[in-house]
Amino acid sequence: NAGVTQTPKFRVLKTGQSMTLLCAQDMNHEYMYWYRQDPGMGLRLIHYSVGEGTTAKGEVPDGYNVSRLKKQNFLLGLESAAPSQTSVYFCASSYSRESRDTQYFGPGTRLTVL
C-alpha cells in the first residue's frame, strides 16, 4: 500500500515552459487536493476534486489546470511556468469530506522556475 505518490520529486523549468505533476493514490479515496507550500505563507489549496471527472478551484488556482480522468490520479498542469510558481507542491487525498476524515499527503514535488 503505497499511499499517495507524486512524480517527479524535483524539477527545474525555464519561464514559459509547461509541465504536468502527477499524483496517484491507492486508497480508493474520492477526494484529492493540490497544495503549494511557500515560506511565510503556509500551505495553500490550488485545486481539488470531489470525484472522478470533477475539479474545483481552491484558494490560489490562477496559472494552474487540473484533471481527474481516473479516480486514482490527479494531475496538476502548468501551461506557462512563471518564477512565482517556484514552490513545493503537495498532493493529498481523503476518503470523504466528513469531519472525522483526515487528508493523506504525498512526499511533495520541489519545482524551481528560472
**Chain residues in the site for other proteins (CB under 8 A):** 4, 31, 33, 40-45, 48, 50, 56, 58-59, 90, 92, 97, 99-100, 102-108
| Nearer Cβ to other proteins (56/114) | 56
Concatenate the DSSP letters of all residues of 25-67 into one string: ESS--SEEEEEEEETTTEEEEEEEESSTT--EE-SS-TT-EEE
Strand partners, 75: 22, 67
Rounded least distance, CB 52 to other proteins, Å: 15
CA atoms within 13 A on the CB side of 52: 9
Q: How far apart are CB 103 and other proteins at their closest, in Å?
A: 7
Pull the grid cell for residue 27.
Answer: 486508497
CB of 112 to other proteins, least distance (A): 15
Q: Which is nearer to other proteins, 33 or 64 (CB)?
A: 33
| HSE-up (13 A, CA, CB side) for residue 47 | 20
Q: Which is nearer to other proteins, 13 or 89 (CB)?
A: 89
